[in-house]
Structure 1
Amino acid sequence: MKKSEIKLIYEKFAVPKNIIFHMQKVAEICGNLADEFKKKKIKVRKSIIIKSALVHDVFKPEGKDHAKKMADYLRKIGEKSMADLVEKHDFWQIDTLKTWEEKILYYADKRVYEDTLVSLQTRIDEGRKRNPGKISPEVIETEEKMKKLEKQFRDILKGCFLSFQI
């Protein structure tokens, strides 16, 4: 998918600017992580990760199941690889992450609040404020798994220069 096609998707679905800015920041973080993985000789498809990041929250304003809706749309237009990544960025999908591409998009999205890079803990705290009364054992377990994923990134990328702290 070309960047011009991504722009058309933004127009077609009237994606709010704040969501576009968020997706652009997530894409930037994905690109940085992909570069560092490549330096460690870990094969990742940077282009597909970035393109997926640029559309992952197109249906976020519609609320529930936004990841699945976008994945379905991407499959419909023949972008299966992107669809597979986008579908896995949902908070509850952490146990389904298998590829580095999936893990990179998932993690980068969890590090960006609105259009600002924040710590994972800050993002977790923000999510709790946004969803008061919904802190179930499953949420806490997923948050712990996110922290383990972050540690996995830290261990693999030890010694790499990143423009942000993992």
Structure 2
Amino acid sequence: MKNTSIAAIIAAGGYSSRMGSFKPFLKFGKKSAIEMLIDTYKGCGIDNIIVVTGYKGSEVAEKLRESGATCLQNENYSEGMFTSVIKGVKALDTRVSAFFMQPVDIPLVKKHTIELLKKKYLEGGKGIIYPDFCGRVGHPPLIHCKYREVILRSNGEGGLKKILKEYSSDSIYVHVFDKTVLMDMDTKEDYEKLLGYFNAGAPDGEECSSILDIYKVPENIIRHCRKVSEVSVEISRSLNNAGYELNECALKAAAMLHDIAKKEENHARVGGKILQEIGYGKVGSIIGSHTDIEVDGQGRITESEILYLADKLVREDKVISIEERFKQSLNKYQDNPEVLRKIENRRDAAYKIIKKIEAVTGRGFNYG
């Protein structure tokens, strides 16, 4: 029977000298960078996790005492990261067929990305699997254990990257829409950038474009989404200027991706599920209700309501009025009471949202 046990080696032995703070313990929400990575791999069903420590090794081991990960102290950590690679690879047992090589300073790689790399490996054919974001190769690579001895025999000159480059014919690049495979944190500025990305909880513009490309969304749909995004952001900013705290990043991304599953039946629900599976729960929730929505006329305005309204205000890639948007449908189904009632409910929901916006901003709604 083929051995398909996959392990993860997390290199966390450096001094963090350029950062000025110890990188494994830097916080993302309530969790540290090292805890984030361990949780990500465990969430992918990878329980064989080796954390190679060095500087402050005893503190890392104590912090991870109940994590289920195995902590190994690299006595030679001062000689560079490759010594941590060697320490981790030596510790792999015969049950392991492949391993991820994960630097601790790339802490936000997504579960979905790890799953894609695993899937490609298990399909067979190649021994070195790299994540590729928009033509740029990132971390972590997934490496077959047939390269174990090659790595252990190396003098480390040029690092693991140079070793694996010799076997490029046995490599494959998996397209991912996860920019974090490129986002390390060598400096304080890098960390602040990563923290901003983490707090946004949404794909940025480059990631949205990658998602649309991978899902083969037609150009006319992309133009529509781009215009809906512009309208959504403009509305949200007017509300935030009036004292709201809407998540503009999540709303902008949701608007850019709201028709990702346009060809599917109940495309809002399907699109929302796609984004939730990728790891963007807030964005997926907003997308999931953009075709039909229950509006509380007295409640706070939500990102979902803004996307719903913006989508109704844009036909193809042109802004129109709500009256114009629904006029044709109302005329077409005037002899079908059931369908007509649904159309009227959608129109009335849009008008309710407009009234709520006008009440907050203190001025008339002038779209369309």
TM-score by length of 2: 0.40
User: 2:294 corresponds to which residue?
Assistant: 94
Asked whether 1:136 is paired with 2:340, we answer yes
* Residue number in structure 1 paired with 2:276: 75
| DSSP-derived class of the 1:93 partner | coil
Greater helix percent: which structure? 1
Q: CA deviation at 1:6?
A: 1.2
Q: Is the 8 A contact 1:89 1:106 kept in 2?
A: yes
CA 1:49 to 1:126, structure 2 compared with 1: closer, same or farther past 3 Å? Answer: farther
Q: CA deviation at 1:144?
A: 2.0
Larger Rg, first or second structure (1 or 2): 2
* Contact 1:94/1:142 (<8 A) preserved: no
- Compute the displacement of 1:126 (Å): 4.1
Identity among equivalent positions (%) equals 22
Q: Is residue 2:322 matched to residue 1:120?
A: yes
The one-character-per-residue Cα deviations of 1:113-164 (angstroms, maximum 9, x if unpaired) are: 110111111111244467785743233233223222222222222238x8x4
Shift of 1:94: 3.0
The match for 1:84 is: 285
1:21-70 residue CA offsets vs partner (Å, 9 max, x unmatched): 1100010011111110111011111111001100001111x142111111
Alpha-carbon separation, structure 2, partners of 1:13 and 1:130: 33
Note the C-alpha offset of 1:165.
Answer: 3.1
- Which secondary structure state, in structure 2, belongs to the residue aligned with residue 54 of structure 1? helix
Q: State the distance in 1 between where 2:300 and 2:279 align.
A: 22
Partner of 2:350: 146
* Cα distance in structure 1, aligned partners of 2:313 and 2:332: 16
Distance 1:156 1:126, change over 3 A: farther
In structure 1, what is the Cα distance between the partners aligned to 2:258 and 2:328? Answer: 20
Q: Which of 32, 38, 41 is 2:234 aligned to?
A: 32
The number of equivalent residue pairs is: 162
Q: Distance in 2 between matches of 1:107 and 1:67?
A: 14
Does the aligned pair in 1 maintain the 2:261–2:270 contact within 8 Å? yes
Q: Which amino acid aligns with 1:144?
A: D
Q: Supply the distance in 1 between the matched residues of 2:348 and 2:236 (Cα, whole angstroms).
A: 23
Structure 2 residue ranges without an equivalent (≥5): 1-202
Unaligned runs of 5+ in 1: none
* 1:29-68 equivalences in 2 (<5 Å): 29-60=231-262, 62-68=263-269
Could you tell me how far apart the structure 1 residues matched to 2:316 and 2:248 are? Answer: 22
Q: Name the structure 1 match of 2:47.
A: none
Amino acid at match of 2:356: Q
Residue 360 of structure 2, aligned match among 128, 147, 156:
156
Contact 2:255 2:287 in 1 (8 A): yes
- Preserved contact between residue 226 and residue 256 of structure 2 (Cα < 8 Å): yes
Question: Offset at 1:17?
Answer: 0.9
Is 1:15 matched up with 2:217? Answer: yes
Contact 1:94 1:146 in 2 (8 A): no
For the Cα contact (< 8 Å) 1:70–1:86, is it kept in 2? yes
Q: Give the TM-score, by structure 1 length.
A: 0.85
What is the Cα-based RMSD across aligned positions, in Å?
Answer: 2.5
